[in-house]
C-alpha cells in the first residue's frame, strides 16, 4: 500500500499534468454569478444565442452582462485559469466591456476595454497557491447592451474541485423603522402639481387607526374630498397656487398639514412614488399580477405612506393593431379599463410603457408613427404615467446625434399635450447624450440616467454612487431616474427570488435614492412583501426626504477611506446627510468582492466642516426616527459594511 502511495506521490511531482483535472466555468453554479441584466447562460450568450464573437462561434463558455462578478474558492489547488473573452455579436454597436481576472485581492489580468467586432482576447493565468479567484466584467465607455462572453473558460486544478462561493455577505434582516403611531399622521407630498381643466386625483396619505375623518378646508371650486378615504377628486382649477388645510382625526388624536396644490404647467413637483412590474415579472406580467400588487399596496398600508403609481411595463401589448391603428392590450390583460377604474377608485394611479421605435425592448409592438393615436388611447384608458423607452429607435437612428436623440421624445410630448389628461412623461433612454442636461427642456418629467439595474451590490451601488450630475439639472417637475428599486422578491420573469442585496445594502439603496430625489418605483411582487421589505418602504421620515418640496438632489461632499458622504438641502432649512460605508472606493475592482466574508462596521466622525456647515445642529437618525443630540462640531456614527447612517441636521439656536 505504502509503495502505491509513494508511486502516486512521485508521479504527481514528476508529471505535474498527471493528476490534473479541469473544471469548466460553464459547469459551475452560475446562480452565484451576478449579472447586470437577465441571467448568465451556459454555452450561450446572455441573450440565449450561440456564443459568437466577431463571427467565430464557440461551443463552450458563459454569456453574461456587465456588471458581472463571480467568486470561486480554489483552495490553493488550482494551477491555471484559461479563457478567451469578447463582446458577443448579439450586442448593439455601442457595447463596450472590460474583463478582469483577480485572485486574493490582486488584479492578475485585464482585457482593456473591448468593443463589438473585435477578436476575442486570450488570458492564461497561473493560479498556484491562490485561495480565491474573482472574475469581473465591467462596462466600458457606456453601460448599455454589454453582452459579455467568457469563452472556453476553465480552471486546471488538482485535488479539491474549485467551487463557486458567490459574493454574498450573510446578514440577517434588521428592522429600523418604528411602527406607525395609532394617532393620525399625514404623509406623502406636501406639494402637488396639476394642469388646469384636467381631471384631478390626489389621495391624502394618512397613517393611524381607522375609522378616521380626513377633511380639507380651502379647496377651490371644482374639487372635493371624500372624508373617509382622503381622496380629492374633481377638475383642476384655474392656474394658481391653492393652500389647503388637511385635518385627519381618529379616536386617538388629530393631525393637520398644509397641502399646496399648484395648478399650472408642471406635474411631478415631487418624484413619483409607486410600483412597476418589470423588476419582478418582466414580460410575464399579467392583469392578475398587477392587481395583486395594487391590492397589496392598499392592504399592507403602503398607500398611506404616499406610494401611488401602479405601472405596467413591457409585455402588455397586443400582437397587432386594430384596423384603425389602435394598440390594444394582449390576452394577458382581459380588461385593462376595469383595472384602471379600480386603481383610480382607490386613489392610486396607473402607468403604462411603450417605445418610440417599431418594437419595444421585449419585442412587442411600439409607437413609431402611431404616437398621437397611442397617447389618445392611453388618455382614454385613464393612464397617468407613460414610460417611453428607446428600443428599436436605434434602427431608425443608428448613430443618433443630439437632435435625433431628442426627436422621438418631442414627438410623443406633442402627442401627450393633445390629451386633456395629466400624464407623467418618463424618458427611458439610459442617459444617452447626457439627457439630464436637456430632458426638462423637451418636456420630460423623469429620465433614466443609466442602463438597467440588477439586484446586486455592484449594479445598485455602481449606479447610485455615480449620480454626480449637477443638481441644477433636476428639480420640481424634472427628475433623474437611476432606475427602479431592487428590494423584495424580484426576478424579471415568472420565477422570483429574494433580492441579492443584503439588508444593509437595501438601507443604502433606499437612502441613496431618497437623497437623489429619484422616482421610487418598487420593483418586487408586493403580494409577497416580507416584514423587512415592508418596514423598509414605510419610513415616513425617509420618504419625506425623497419628497422634499425644495427638490434639490444630493451631491457628494466627501469620499475617503471607503466612506462616501452625500448631502441635500431641504425646504425647512435643514439638511439630509447620508454617510455610506462602501468598502474600498469605486475604481478599485478588487473591492467588488467580499473576499473574506467578514462583515465589519466602521466608525465615522462626520464633522460639520465636512458638510460645510457652521453653527449648532440637532442630528436625527432618520431610519430610527430618533434625535441623537445637538452638536456644533461633529457626529460620530457606526455604519455596517455596505450600509448607511441616514441623518438630518436641523439648525438650532
Ligand atoms: C428596457 C428598460 C427596462 C424595461 C425593459 C422592457 O430594458 O430599461 O426598464 O422597461 O426595457 O423591455
- Pairing of the two strands 185-186 and 206-207: antiparallel
Other CB atoms within 10 Å distance of the CB of residue 197: 14
**Residue owning the nearest CA to atom 8 of ligand 1:** 452
**d(C-alpha 524, C-alpha 492), whole Å:** 9
pLDDT at position 426 is 98
Other CB atoms within 10 Å distance of the CB of residue 562: 17
**Residue owning the nearest CA to atom 9 of ligand 1:** 452
Q: If you measure from the C-alpha of residue 284 to the centroid of ligand 1, how many angstroms do you get, rounded to a whole number?
A: 13
- Scored b (16 or more CB within 10 A) or e, 81-90 reads bebbbbbbbb
Q: Among the atoms of ligand 1, which is closest to the Cα of residue 279?
A: 9
* DSSP states of 31-67: GGSB-SSS--EETB-TTSSBEEETTEEESSEEEEESS
Read off the DSSP letter of residue 437. G
Residues in the chain: 653
**d(C-alpha 143, C-alpha 140), whole Å:** 7
**Is the CB of 481 within 6 Å of ligand 1?**
no
Are 188 and 306 contacting, i.e. CB atoms less than 8 angstroms apart? yes
Q: Among the atoms of ligand 1, which is closest to the Cα of residue 483?
A: 9
Blockwise average pLDDT, block size 10, the chain, 653 residues: 56 60 96 86 96 97 92 94 97 90 94 95 96 92 83 95 80 94 98 98 98 98 98 98 98 98 98 98 98 98 98 98 97 98 98 98 97 98 98 94 98 98 98 97 98 90 95 97 98 94 96 98 98 98 98 97 96 98 74 72 95 98 98 97 96 95
At CA 194, angle to CA 191 and CA 195, rounded to 5?
150
Q: Which residues lie below 8 Å from residue 623, measured CB to CB, with a gap of 6+?
A: 176, 177, 507, 511, 539, 542, 646
**d(C-alpha 290, C-alpha 526), whole Å:** 9
**d(C-alpha 277, C-alpha 289), whole Å:** 8
* pTM of the model as a whole: 0.85
C-alpha closest to that of 201 among 349, 386, 380: 349
Partnered with residue 148 across adjacent β-strands are 64, 87
**d(C-alpha 293, C-alpha 68), whole Å:** 30
Which of 89, 374, 389, 422 is the catalytic position?
389
**Is the CB of 643 within 6 Å of ligand 1?**
no
**Is the CB of 541 within 6 Å of ligand 1?**
no
**Is the CB of 361 within 6 Å of ligand 1?**
yes
**Is the CB of 389 within 6 Å of ligand 1?**
yes
Identify the H or E element spanning 627: strand 626-631
**Is the CB of 348 within 6 Å of ligand 1?**
no
Q: Assess whether 621 carries a catalytic annotation.
A: no
**Residue owning the nearest CA to atom 11 of ligand 1:** 361
pLDDT at position 145 is 80
pLDDT at position 39 is 86
pLDDT at position 83 is 97
Identify the H or E element spanning 651: strand 644-652
Are 79 and 158 contacting, i.e. CB atoms less than 8 angstroms apart? yes
Q: Assess whether 452 carries a catalytic annotation.
A: yes
Residue carrying C-alpha cell 443604502 = 508
C-alpha closest to that of 472 among 552, 537, 539, 561: 552
**d(C-alpha 521, C-alpha 448), whole Å:** 12
**Residue owning the nearest CA to atom 3 of ligand 1:** 452
Amino acid at each position: 500500500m505504502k509503495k502505491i502511495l509513494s508511486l502516486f506521490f512521485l508521479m504527481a511531482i514528476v508529471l505535474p499534468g498527471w493528476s490534473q483535472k479541469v473544471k469548466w466555468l460553464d459547469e459551475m453554479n452560475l446562480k452565484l454569478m451576478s449579472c447586470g441584466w437577465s441571467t448568465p447562460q451556459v454555452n450561450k450568450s446572455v441573450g440565449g444565442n450561440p456564443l459568437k464573437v466577431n463571427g467565430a462561434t464557440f461551443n463552450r463558455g458563459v454569456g453574461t452582462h456587465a456588471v458581472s462578478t463571480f467568486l470561486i474558492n480554489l483552495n490553493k489547488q488550482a494551477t491555471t485559469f484559461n479563457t478567451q473573452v469578447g463582446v458577443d455579436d448579439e450586442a448593439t454597436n455601442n457595447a463596450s466591456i472590460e474583463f478582469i481576472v483577480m485572485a486574493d485581492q490582486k488584479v492578475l489580468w485585464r482585457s482593456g476595454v473591448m468593443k463589438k467586432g473585435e477578436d476575442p482576447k486570450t488570458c492564461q493565468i497561473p493560479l498556484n497557491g491562490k485561495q480565491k479567484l474573482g472574475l469581473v466584467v465591467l462596462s466600458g465607455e457606456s453601460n448599455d447592451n454589454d453582452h459579455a462572453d467568457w469563452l472556453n473558460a476553465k480552471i486546471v486544478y488538482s485535488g479539491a474541485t474549485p467551487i463557486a462561493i458567490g459574493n454574498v455577505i450573510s446578514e440577517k434582516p434588521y428592522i429600523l423603522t418604528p411602527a406607525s403611531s395609532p394617532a393620525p399622521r399625514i404623509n406623502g407630498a406636501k406639494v402637488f402639481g396639476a394642469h388646469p381643466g384636467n381631471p384631478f386625483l390626489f389621495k391624502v396619505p394618512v397613517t393611524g387607526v381607522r375609522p378616521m375623518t380626513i377633511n380639507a378646508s380651502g379647496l377651490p371650486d371644482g374639487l372635493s374630498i371624500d372624508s373617509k378615504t382622503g381622496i380629492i377628486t374633481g377638475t383642476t382649477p384655474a392656474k394658481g397656487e391653492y393652500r389647503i388645510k388637511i385635518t385627519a382625526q381618529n379616536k386617538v388624536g388629530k393631525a393637520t398639514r398644509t397641502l399646496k396644490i399648484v395648478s399650472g404647467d408642471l406635474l411631478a413637483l415631487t418624484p413619483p412614488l409607486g410600483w412597476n412590474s418589470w423588476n419582478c415579472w418582466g414580460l410575464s406580467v399579467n392583469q392578475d399580477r398587477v392587481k395583486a400588487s395594487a391590492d397589496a399596496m392598499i392592504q399592507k398600508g403602503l398607500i398611506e405612506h404616499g406610494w401611488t403609481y401602479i405601472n405596467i411595463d413591457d409585455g402588455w401589448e397586443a400582437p397587432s393593431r386594430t384596423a384603425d391603428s389602435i394598440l390594444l392590450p394582449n390576452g394577458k390583460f382581459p380588461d385593462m379599463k376595469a383595472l384602471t377604474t379600480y386603481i383610480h377608485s382607490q386613489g392610486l394611479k396607473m402607468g403604462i410603457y411603450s417605445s418610440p421605435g417599431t418594437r419595444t425592448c421585449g419585442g412587442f409592438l411600439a409607437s413609431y408613427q402611431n404616437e398621437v393615436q397611442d397617447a389618445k388611447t392611453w388618455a382614454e384608458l385613464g393612464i397617468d404615467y407613460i414610460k417611453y423607452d428607446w428600443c428599436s429607435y436605434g434602427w431608425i437612428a443608428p448613430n443618433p446625434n443630439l437632435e435625433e436623440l431628442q426627436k422621438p421624445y418631442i414627438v410623443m410630448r406633442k402627442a401627450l399635450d393633445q390629451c386633456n389628461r395629466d400624464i407623467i412623461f418618463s424618458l427611458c433612454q439610459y442617459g444617452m447624450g447626457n439627457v439630464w442636461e436637456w430632458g426638462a427642456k423637451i418636456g420630460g418629467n423623469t429620465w433614466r440616467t443609466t442602463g438597467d439595474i440588477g439586484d446586486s451590490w455592484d449594479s445598485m451601488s455602481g449606479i447610485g454612487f455615480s449620480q454626480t450630475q449637477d443638481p441644477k439639472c433636476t428639480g420640481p417637475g424634472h427628475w433623474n431616474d437611476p432606475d427602479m428599486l431592487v428590494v423584495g422578491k424580484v426576478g424579471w420573469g415568472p420565477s422570483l427570488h429574494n433580492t441579492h442585496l443584503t439588508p444593509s445594502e437595501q438601507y443604502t439603496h433606499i437612502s441613496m435614492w431618497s437623497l437623489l430625489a429619484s422616482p421610487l418605483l418598487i420593483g418586487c411582487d408586493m403580494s409577497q412583501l416580507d416584514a423587512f421589505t415592508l418596514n423598509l418602504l414605510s419610513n415616513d421620515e425617509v420618504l419625506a426626504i425623497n419628497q422634499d418640496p425644495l427638490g434639490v438632489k444630493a451631491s457628494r461632499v466627501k469620499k475617503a477611506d471607503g466612506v462616501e458622504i452625500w448631502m441635500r438641502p431641504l425646504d425647512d432649512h435643514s439638511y439630509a446627510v447620508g454617510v455610506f460605508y462602501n468598502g474600498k472606493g469605486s475604481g478599485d475592482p478588487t473591492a467588488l468582492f467580499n473576499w473574506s466574508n467578514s462583515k465589519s462596521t466602521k466608525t465615522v466622525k462626520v464633522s460639520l466642516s465636512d458638510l460645510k456647515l457652521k453653527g449648532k445642529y440637532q442630528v436625527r437618525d432618520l431610519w430610527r426616527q430618533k434625535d441623537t443630540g445637538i452638536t456644533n462640531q461633529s457626529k460620530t456614527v457606526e455604519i455596517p459594511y455596505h450600509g448607511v447612517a441616514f441623518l438630518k441636521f436641523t439648525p438650532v439656536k
